[in-house]
Every structure is written in C-alpha cells, then in structure tokens.
C-alpha cells in the first residue's frame, strides 16, 4: 500500500510540474505579441504626431511588462518547488547545460524585464525630444 501511495504522489508531483511548466511558457509566449503590438502602436502614433497618446502607450507597455514579470516570477516559484519535490524522487528528466548558464524559468522572467526597460527607454528618449518627427 505504501508503494502505491508513493507512486501516486510521484505521478501527482509530475502532473503538477508539467501543468505549471505549460502555464509558464504559454504566458511567456504572449509577451512577444504584446510587445510587438505596443511597439507598433507607439510607432504609428509617433508617425501621426500623436505624442500624448504615444506616451500613454509606452507607459501602459511598461506596466504590462512589470505585471508579466511579477506573474512569471510567481509561476517560477511554483516550478522550483515542484521541481525540488520531483528531483528528490528522481522523476524529472535532467536537462543539459542551461542556456547562458540560466535555467528557462530565469530567462522567461528576464525577457519581460528587458522589454519593460526598452519601453521605458523609448519614453525617456521621446520626452527628451529625440523622437520628434521620426
């Protein structure tokens, strides 16, 4: 009976890890489309001399990227806990070398931060007058 419960626990941990990983990457994949839409909207507004609205688009872009970073960070916390529990049971595959020395969940959290910094930089550059009449 103990072995049966142990196998059920291993299966449950593995299922939770797979589910959390799937949610993490599905959330991460949307960042590309959101960032492209924000950048495209900002550029279209700049070209049509709608500077006030373009400020708003960049501010919203920064806010969205901050929210995405926080959401992905919380999801990563669950991933780490499930991976630790699964690692103790040796039920997850061992990946090779992490890209740039960072595991995927860390890279997934860095990308929206980079995009938020990019949008903030564009806002600062636009406020200084560099993007007037692009």
Residue 110 has pLDDT above 80, yes or no: yes
Nearest Cα neighbor of 55 from 122, 118, 130 is: 122
Q: What number of helices (H) and strands (E) belong to the chain? A: 3, 0
Instruction: Please report whether residue 134 resides in a domain.
Output: no
pLDDT at 11: 82
Instruction: Please report whether residue 132 resides in a domain.
Output: no
Instruction: Please report whether residue 63 resides in a domain.
Output: yes
Instruction: Please report whether residue 92 resides in a domain.
Output: yes
* Contact call for residues 78 and 22 (beta carbons, < 8 A): no
b/e per residue 24-56 (b: at least 16 CB within 10 A): beeebeebeeebeebbebbeebbeeeeeeebbe
CA angle 89, 95, 98 (to 5 degrees): 130
**What is the percent of the chain where pLDDT is above 90?**
39
pLDDT at 64: 96
> Residue 44's domain spans which residues?
2-127
Mean pLDDT of the chain: 84
pTM: 0.79
For range 98-125, the mean pLDDT = 84
Rounded to whole angstroms, the Cα distance separating 90 from 84 reads 10
Instruction: Please report whether residue 98 resides in a domain.
Output: yes
Instruction: Please report whether residue 133 resides in a domain.
Output: no
How many separate domains does the chain show?
1
For the four alpha carbons of 94, 11, 87 and 31, in that order, the dihedral sign comes to: positive
How does pLDDT run across 46-97, given as a tens digit for each residue? 999 898 999 999 999 999 999 999 999 998 888 888 777 776 556 665 555 5
**What is the percent of the chain where pLDDT is above 70?**
84
């Amino acid at each position: 009976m103990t072995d049966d419960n142990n196998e059920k626990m291993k299966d449950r941990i593995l299922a939770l890890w797979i589910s959390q990983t799937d949610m993490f990457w599905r959330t991460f994949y949307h960042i590309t489309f959101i960032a492209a839409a924000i950048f495209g909207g900002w550029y279209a507004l700049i070209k049509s001399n709608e500077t006030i609205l373009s400020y708003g688009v960049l501010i919203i872009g920064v806010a969205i990227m901050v929210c995405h970073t926080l959401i992905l960070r919380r999801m990563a916390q669950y991933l780490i806990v499930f991976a630790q529990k699964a690692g103790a049971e040796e039920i997850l595959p061992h990946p090779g070398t992490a890209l740039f020395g960072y595991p995927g969940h860390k890279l997934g959290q860095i990308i929206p931060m980079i995009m938020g910094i990019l949008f903030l930089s564009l806002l600062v550059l636009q406020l200084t007058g560099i993007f007037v009449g692009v």
